[in-house]
């Protein structure tokens, strides 16, 4: 049972980092998924039901904007099942109906954690019915307003340039560099980072319909995992869940020369889904043409 509060010691950023290291050390005395909510609140790891816990009393004076530094991130997994991976977490910005600037202030606190390289605590339920919480420490590597998300790494030495490089000059259609080949054994490692990079590249909206509610957007592979497709964001596209299903079922496709969206029903399917055939062609940032051409030639 943890019954200790670590407070009143942060005068500088270095002090705050040390304070959190002490908090993490205190958490090591029991299994990582057996913490009671009251214990976490007592220690200062978390303070309420909101997604981002900011201990302003301890951290507001440490940063110029007065928004503080994020301490705890609650991951519910309610809307997004592909955010948590082995290497890190794509943490979506809060988007609530709370009055005032609370969402904005919490995002700024998240950005401050990245700016000053201060570790954060990620809290989630081991299972939906669990009365305890699992806690993991992470580092906010980058925040992307386009993705409406932050990438939180479980590795303090993670290199953001290597990890998040999305330029097409390093594009590789498959993970091995070899021609795509179908496999019945599908491995989906890196899906959380893939989602983050896709939303960062294109924005958190469906490129076919314009739907921009983050909980409705999937990161879709063009050359899929079953063919050895890579997790480069140029091999991905953000689509709403319904459009994603139609895309995977080959009811709609992308012409690799014109980038026009087509179907086999003289536009009926596109109209039913609310898709403008020229929506992708009008985008400034598009999927890599090699990926589009491969899908056109191999999956019709």
Q: Render pLDDT for 240-285 as a digit per residue (tens, 0 to 9).
A: 999 999 999 999 999 999 999 999 888 899 999 999 999 999 999 9
Predicted TM-score of the model (pTM) = 0.84
Q: Are residues 287 and 176 in the same domain?
A: yes
Q: Which ranges of the chain would DSSP assign to H, the alpha helix?
A: 13-27, 37-43, 56-59, 102-115, 160-164, 191-202, 241-248, 268-273, 289-298
Residues 219 and 274 in one domain: yes
Are 53 and 156 contained in the same domain?
yes
Whether the CB-CB separation of 116 and 124 falls below 8 Å is answered with no
Res 46 pLDDT > 60: yes
4 within a domain of the structure (yes/no): no
Q: Is residue 173 part of a domain?
A: yes
Residues 236 and 217 in one domain: yes
**Whether residue 101 is found in the same domain as residue 195:** no
Residues 234 and 143 placed together within one structural domain of the fold: no
Contact indicator for 50, 41 with CB cutoff of 8 Å = no
pLDDT at 186: 42
C-beta of residue 70 within 8 angstroms of C-beta of residue 59: no
| Euclidean distance between CA atoms 105 and 63, whole angstroms | 12
Rounded Cα distance, 224 and 235, in Å: 9
131: in domain: yes
Report the alpha-carbon distance of residue 123 to residue 119 in Å, rounded.
13
50-101 pLDDT per residue, tens: 789 999 999 999 999 999 999 999 987 655 555 677 788 899 998 877 766 8
| Higher pLDDT among residues 124 and 68, named by residue | 68
**Strongest mean pLDDT among 25-39, 72-86, 122-136, 268-282:** 268-282
Q: Are 212 and 188 in contact (CB under 8 A)?
A: no
What pLDDT digit, counting tens, does each position of 167-182 carry? Answer: 655 788 887 655 555 5
In a shared domain, residues 17 and 148: yes
Q: Are residues 159 and 22 in the same domain?
A: yes
| Residue 8 within any structural domain of the chain | no
Residues 192 and 278 placed together within one structural domain of the fold: yes
Q: Do residues 81 and 159 share a domain?
A: yes
Residues 175 and 263 occupy one common structural domain: yes
Average pLDDT over all residues of the chain: 86
- Kindly report, residue by residue over 203-246, the tens digit of the pLDDT: 999 999 999 988 889 999 999 888 889 999 999 999 999 999 99
Q: Tell me: do 20 and 157 sit in the same domain.
A: yes
CA–CA separation, 131 and 125 (whole Å): 8
| Domain enclosing residue 293, as ranges | 168-298
């Amino acid at each position: 049972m943890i019954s200790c509060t670590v407070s009143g010691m942060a005068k500088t950023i270095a002090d705050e980092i040390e304070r959190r290291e002490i908090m993490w050390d205190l958490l090591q005395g029991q299994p990582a998924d057996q913490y009671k909510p009251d214990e976490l609140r007592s220690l200062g790891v978390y303070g309420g039901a909101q997604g981002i816990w900011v201990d302003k009393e301890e951290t507001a004076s440490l940063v110029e904007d007065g928004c503080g530094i994020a301490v705890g991130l609650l991951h519910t997994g309610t809307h997004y099942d592909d955010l948590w991976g082995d290497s890190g977490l794509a943490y979506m910005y809060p988007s609530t109906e709370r009055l005032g600037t609370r969402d904005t202030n919490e995002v700024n606190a998240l950005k401050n954690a990245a700016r000053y390289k201060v570790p954060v605590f990620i809290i989630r339920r081991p299972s939906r019915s669990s009365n305890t919480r699992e806690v993991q420490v992470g580092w906010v590597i980058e925040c992307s307003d386009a993705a409406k998300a932050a990438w939180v790494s479980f590795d303090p030495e993670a290199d953001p340039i290597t990890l998040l490089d999305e330029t097409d000059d390093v594009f590789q259609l498959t993970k091995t560099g070899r021609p795509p080949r179908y496999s019945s054994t599908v491995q989906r490692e890196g899906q959380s980072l893939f989602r983050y990079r896709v939303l960062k590249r294109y924005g958190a909206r469906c490129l076919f319909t314009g739907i921009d509610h983050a909980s409705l957007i999937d990161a879709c592979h063009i050359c899929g995992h079953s063919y050895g497709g890579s997790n480069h964001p140029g091999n991905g596209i953000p689509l709403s869940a319904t459009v994603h299903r139609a895309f995977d079922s080959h009811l709609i496709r992308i012409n690799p020369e014109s980038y026009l969206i087509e179907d086999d029903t003289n536009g009926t399917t596109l109209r039913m889904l609310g898709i403008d055939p020229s929506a992708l062609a009008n985008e400034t940032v598009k999927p890599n043409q090699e990926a589009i051409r491969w899908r056109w030639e191999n999956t019709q």
